[in-house]
Amino acid sequence: MNEDRFIDIKEVLKIVGCKITTWYNLVSDNKAPQPYRPYGTRSVRWSYFEIQKWIADNKGNNGGNQEQLSQG
């Protein structure tokens, strides 16, 4: 079984295929996985498994986000 890992915004954007503003809009609207802030750092990371699950759950309709992602 593969272990989960934390990925940075650059990798998230590569996987999801949108621009940073679009992604953060989805996150702030609670339409995308929320980031984690590793203790003692200012950086944010996302769970690779949560991103993959979000993509799978929204495949075909993107949870109403298809238009937003295609504009990104």
Which residue range is the domain that position 61 belongs to?
6-71
Token look-up 């495949």 returns 59
User: CB-based burial of residue 38 (10 Å sphere; 0-12 exposed, 13-18 middle, 19+ buried)?
Assistant: exposed
Mean pLDDT of 8-33: 97
Q: Domain total for the chain? A: 1
Token look-up 């998230």 returns 12
Mean pLDDT of 58-70: 60
Q: Is the pLDDT of residue 69 over 90?
A: no
- Residue 66: inside a domain: yes
| Average pLDDT along the chain | 86
User: pTM for this one?
Assistant: 0.78
- Residue 49: inside a domain: yes
- Residue 1: inside a domain: no
